[in-house]
Amino acid sequence: MKKIYCFFCCPAPLPAILPPAGCSSKRGGNFSALVFGISYGTLTAITQLISQIQAPFANITGYLPRFYAMVASAERLMEIEQFSNDSEKSALDIQTVKAYYSDKLKSFGIKNANFTYYPAVDSIKGLSKDSQPVVLKNISIEIGKGEYVAFTGHSGCGKSTVLKLLMSIYQLDSGKRYITDKDGEKALSAEWHRLFAYVPQGNQLMSGTIREIVAFADKADMQNDERIHQALRIACADDFVAELDGGIDTLLGERGTGLSEGQMQRIAIARAIYSESPILLLDEATSALDADTEKMLLQNLRNMTDKTVVIVTHRPAALEICDRVIDFTDTEK
Cβ(172)–Cβ(165) below 8 Å:
yes
**What is the rounded average pLDDT for all residues in the chain?**
82
pTM: 0.73
Residues contacting 268, CB < 8 A, separation 6+? 199, 203, 204, 205, 285
Q: Is the dihedral of CA 141, 142, 145, 148 positive or negative?
A: negative
pLDDT of residue 118 exceeding 80, the answer is no
Determine which of 43-52, 96-105, 143-152, 238-247 has the lowest per-residue pLDDT on average: 43-52
Cβ(199)–Cβ(269) below 8 Å:
yes
Please tell me the predicted confidence (pLDDT) of residue 127.
56
Cβ(293)–Cβ(211) below 8 Å:
no
pLDDT of residue 12 exceeding 50, the answer is no
Please tell me the predicted confidence (pLDDT) of residue 89.
74
Q: Which of 30, 32, 31, 36 is nearest to 9 (CA)?
A: 36
Instruction: Tell me how far apart the alpha carbons of residues 154 and 172 are, in angstroms, rounded to a whole number.
Output: 22
Please tell me the predicted confidence (pLDDT) of residue 5.
40
pLDDT of residue 272 exceeding 90, the answer is yes
Question: Could you tell me which residue, 305 or 28, shows the higher pLDDT?
Answer: 305
pLDDT of residue 329 exceeding 60, the answer is yes
Cβ(136)–Cβ(113) below 8 Å:
yes
pLDDT band at 20 (very low <50, low <70, confident <90, very high): very low
Please tell me the predicted confidence (pLDDT) of residue 76.
85
Mean pLDDT over residues 115-121, rounded? Answer: 73
Per-residue pLDDT tens digits for 177-217:
999 999 999 999 989 999 999 999 877 788 889 999 999 86
pLDDT of residue 312 exceeding 90, the answer is yes
pLDDT band at 234 (very low <50, low <70, confident <90, very high): very high
Instruction: Tell me how far apart the alpha carbons of residues 301 and 199 are, in angstroms, rounded to a whole number.
Output: 14
Determine which of 52-61, 150-159, 257-266, 279-288 has the lowest per-residue pLDDT on average: 52-61
pLDDT band at 23 (very low <50, low <70, confident <90, very high): very low
Instruction: Tell me how far apart the alpha carbons of residues 197 and 282 are, in angstroms, rounded to a whole number.
Output: 8
Cβ(98)–Cβ(278) below 8 Å:
yes
Mean pLDDT over residues 88-102, rounded? Answer: 89
Inter-axis angle of helices 2-9 and 25-36, to 10 degrees? 110
Please tell me the predicted confidence (pLDDT) of residue 33.
52
Q: Name the pairing type of β-strands 184-187 and 174-181.
A: antiparallel
CA 74 from chain centre, in angstroms, equals 19
pLDDT of residue 13 exceeding 50, the answer is no
Instruction: Tell me how far apart the alpha carbons of residues 236 and 41 are, in angstroms, rounded to a whole number.
Output: 66
pLDDT of residue 37 exceeding 70, the answer is no
